[in-house]
């Protein structure tokens, strides 16, 4: 079976950068997977992505060698198992609020005797190579999203769930939950209370011997998070990257056109 390169990178003491896909397009997935990310995650919760779309996106990413992952819509065994069967090497699960939730997540991702995952890796049998049945339990990554006040209250119990590989911070929902809606949702938090919460989650994960991941919006914040000791940072997503670059080039073209239009007047005033 093809090994999970995220694990070997982390074991070597290096942080990884994760890409994020919200557009239901194999071509977009193929493009993003070729840009140097260590892993790329398909967002099946908030992204405009169907299961059939995710399957094609996983197929499109295979040639790049990037580690394919998925954020599932919810803590649902069917969604988790189907994403794994389609070839995902890791699952990011939203709204894990208790240790019991985390235990269910782990169970859905492991074949017996370590869990209750049903056997039927229709595509994974091909995409992951020989030996999937024997080796999958040790290669799949289970990430529980910490994004509510309830999860923060139960944090120390969640991170010590046997078989859980890491926790993933969703800053937008975490901010809404901890501030009771007083602060707007978004990435790259700078409020002292939110930075303290982010550091607390990281410290709890490290103390439990599991990985800590943070969703970021900019390269600057992602670099800061890696220096804080996060094992994985997600750097924006396909929608934001496309919108930002399109906006930048349109504004640049208009500004350059205005500059060029003013040149004849300047030359005339100078006597040319």
Contact 145, 94 (CB under 8 A): yes
What residues form DSSP beta bridges with 144?
Answer: 93, 167
The secondary structure of residue 66, as a DSSP letter, is P
The secondary structure of residue 95, as a DSSP letter, is -
Contact 97, 148 (CB under 8 A): yes
- 196: number of Cβ within 10 Å: 11
CA distance readout (Å), 97 to 24, 83, 125, 149, 167: 29, 22, 32, 8, 11
Backbone angles phi, psi at 188, to 5 degrees: 50, 55
Structure tokens at 245: 């670059």
Considering 46, 248, 251, 254, which one is annotated as catalytic? 46
Report long-range pairs for 130-135 (Cβ below 8 Å, ≥24 apart).
Answer: 130/1, 131/1, 132/1, 134/1, 135/1
Active site residue 215: no
- Collapsed DSSP state (helix, strand, coil) of residue 89: coil
- 210: number of Cβ within 10 Å: 21
123 Cα distance to chain centroid? 22
**What is the largest distance, in Å, between two alpha-carbon atoms of the chain?**
88
CA distance readout (Å), 257 to 39, 70, 247, 250, 264: 40, 43, 16, 11, 12
Catalytically annotated residues:
46
């Amino acid at each position: 079976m093809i090994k999970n390169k995220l694990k070997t990178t982390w074991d070597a003491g290096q942080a990884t950068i994760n890409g994020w896909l919200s557009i239901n397009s194999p071509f977009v997935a193929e493009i993003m997977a070729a840009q140097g990310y260590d892993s790329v995650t398909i967002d099946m919760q908030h992204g405009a992505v169907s299961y059939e779309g995710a399957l094609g996106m996983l197929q499109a990413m295979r040639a790049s060698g990037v580690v394919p992952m998925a954020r599932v819509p919810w803590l649902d065994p069917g969604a988790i198992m189907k994403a794994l069967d389609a070839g995902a090497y890791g699952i990011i699960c939203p709204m894990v609020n208790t240790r019991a939730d985390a235990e269910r997540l782990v169970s859905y991702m492991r074949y017996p005797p370590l869990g209750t995952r049903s056997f039927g890796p229709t595509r994974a049998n091909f995409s992951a190579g020989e030996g999937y049945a024997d080796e999958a339990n040790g290669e799949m990554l289970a990430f529980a999203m910490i994004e509510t006040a309830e999860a923060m209250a139960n944090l120390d119990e969640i991170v010590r769930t046997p078989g859980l590989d890491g926790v993933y911070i969703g800053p937008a929902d975490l901010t809404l939950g901890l501030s009771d809606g007083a602060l707007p949702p978004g990435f790259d938090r700078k409020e002292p209370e939110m930075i303290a919460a982010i550091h607390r989650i990281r410290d709890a994960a490290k103390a439990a011997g599991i990985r800590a991941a943070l969703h970021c919006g900019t390269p600057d914040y992602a670099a800061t998070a890696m220096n804080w000791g996060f094992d994985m940072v997600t750097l924006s997503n396909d929608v934001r990257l496309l919108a930002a670059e399109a906006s930048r080039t349109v504004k640049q073209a208009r500004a350059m056109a205005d500059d060029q239009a003013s040149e004849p007047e300047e030359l005339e005033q100078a006597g040319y």
